[in-house]
Amino acid sequence: MILDAVLEAAGDAGLVKAGGRQRPDSTHVLAVTRELNRLELVVETLRAALNEIATAAGQWLAVLAPPEWFDRYSTRPEDSRFPSRWAARIEHGHQVIADGVDVLEAVWGPSAPEGLRHLPAVELLRVWVQQGEVHEGRPRWRDPNYIPPGRIRYCTPYDPAARTGAKRDLARDGYEVHLSETCEPEAHHLIPT
């Protein structure tokens, strides 16, 4: 909105005109987040949602949550000790996905307090669609070959717009910003993005 007003004012002043020459470019802006592996991402996403639900409807969550959820989700993933064996890590991923499905079903259930399903952290449980699936009626960890590419995959539960971008051999979590510079020979050069 503000940019539109600036562009309109620049056009009125004759600094920018339709059909003029321009030079486009893009740059990557890093997200202010820690890089998470898949297991850390789903644990932290569920942990963030549970914390937001606890703030909004703590009594309801206390009735819903089994005691083992406190052990599983009370600390940040980087402070937790995930299983070291690969098979155990996969099983832990299955459990986190199942717990997330339980939270989503409860939040969308008839006994859920009004507004819980619209909490930002609860809406971000969409990570489950990217990282987990229900197979033969049982929630499970999605095979890595079938997760979405980085440009559409969530990389943090705290910034839903950030994605993983790659250029040549460098991958980063953040945003791609597209810029355009006017480049008429006899005019001012502006970067109206």
CA distance linking residue 152 with residue 121, whole number of Å: 18
Structure-block tokens of residue 5: 């007003």
Say whether pLDDT at 34 is over 80: no
pTM: 0.69
pLDDT on residue 21: 67
**CB 111 within 8 Å of CB 105:** no
Q: What is the mean pLDDT of the chain?
A: 79
Say whether pLDDT at 156 is over 70: yes
Amino acid at 95: Q
Say whether pLDDT at 30 is over 70: no
Strand 163-167 vs strand 138-141: parallel, antiparallel, or unpaired? Answer: unpaired
Higher pLDDT, 119 or 150: 119
Structure-block tokens of residue 153: 């995959």
End-to-end CA distance of the chain: 13
pLDDT on residue 32: 59
